[in-house]
Structure 1
Amino acid sequence: MLGELNSRQIEFVLHSLIIGRIGCHADGKTYVVPITYAYDGKYIYGHTTEGLKINMMRKNPMVCFQVDVMENMSNWRSVIAWGKYEELKTREERQEGVKILRDSVMPVMTGDTTIKNSMRDSHQKSNEAMVGVVYRIELKDKTGRYEKM
């Protein structure tokens, strides 16, 4: 059975995942790239280094965001949202964005290497995170689909 997710189900999917894909378009080129993210009910938060994705979103801040949960080919949920990219530039905004990301991602880190590297020095890691680009995407429109057998 194919169907549409309601708004509550869409919010659940967005809140429950930490890997999604951003679709951006600039200069006649479309680029889709996976990201680690946190969702606070209004914004998708991300952190990255300078590169193609950031350059494109600076030129055209209107982006698409997609996540999916795939149990198998007959049991899946997918959410697509459209929104506007915004770079967090002040120290306070950047710290808040990093905090939201860390609070969402840390509970699901399970690998020995990941945990050791992340927990080694929390203060140092926060400072390192401040080096890159911290951003958020305000989600304005959302839709979701599912298949369940």
Structure 2
Amino acid sequence: MLGELNNAQIEGLLKSQILGRIGCHANDTTLIVPVNYFYDGAYIWAHSREGLKIKMMRENPNVCFEVEEIENMANWQSVIAWGEYEEIKDEVERNNAMQKLIKQLLPLLVSETAIPSHGLGTMKLAIVYRIRLTKKVGRFEKQ
């Protein structure tokens, strides 16, 4: 059975996952990339090093975010949300967001080699940002 997720299910899926995908568009180019994140009920929080994704979101802050949970091809949930990129400049807010990201990801870091090379160990190099979600839709299939 195919269906639509209600608001509580959408919120639950966004809060339960740690890997999503950001879609951004600038200068006639569209980019979709995976990101580690946490969701606080209003914002998707993430970090990155300087690169194409950050450059594109600075140029066009209107982005799309997608997350899913797949048990198998007949049992899955997916949320697509739209929002606006906001770079965090305040040092206290940046540090708080990075600590929440680390806390969320820590159970998945099974060895020193599993630590991402793009900012968790080098907070000064990380660009911390959030996406203020303005619209969310969700779908599911359940057999």
Match of 2:129 in 1: 135
1:112 corresponding residue in structure 2: 111
Tell me, which stretches of 5 or more residues in structure 1 are unaligned?
119-123
Question: What is the percentage of aligned positions where both structures have the same residue?
Answer: 51
Pairwise CA RMSD = 1.7
TM-score, structure 1 normalization = 0.88
Deviation at 1:48, TM superposition (A): 0.7
Q: How far apart, CA to CA, are the structure 1 residues paired with 2:40 and 2:124?
A: 20
SS across alignment from 2:82:
strand
Q: Secondary structure, in 3 states, of the residue corresponding to 1:47?
A: strand
User: 1:86 corresponds to which residue?
Assistant: 86
- Verify the 8 A CA contact 1:46 1:101 in the aligned structure 2: yes
Bigger radius of gyration, 1 or 2?
A: 1
1:114 Cα offset (Å)? 5.5
8 Å Cα contact 1:63-1:83 kept in structure 2: yes
Deviations 1:48-92 (A, max 9, x none): 100000000000001000001111111100000000000001211
Which TM-score applies when normalising by structure 2? Answer: 0.91
2 CA distance for matches of 1:80 and 1:113? 33
Contact 1:84/1:138 (<8 A) preserved? yes
Shift of 1:100: 2.0
Tell me the distance in 1 between the aligned counterparts of 2:104 and 2:42.
15
**Structure 2 regions of 5+ residues with no counterpart?**
none
Distance 2:42 2:124 in 1: 22
SS in 2 for 1:129: coil
| Alignment-derived partner of residue 121 in structure 1 | none
Corresponding letter in the other structure for 2:133: L
Point out the structure with the larger helix share: 1
Shift of 1:111: 1.5
1:99, distance to aligned residue in structure 2 (A)? 1.8
Distance 2:123 2:68 in 1: 26
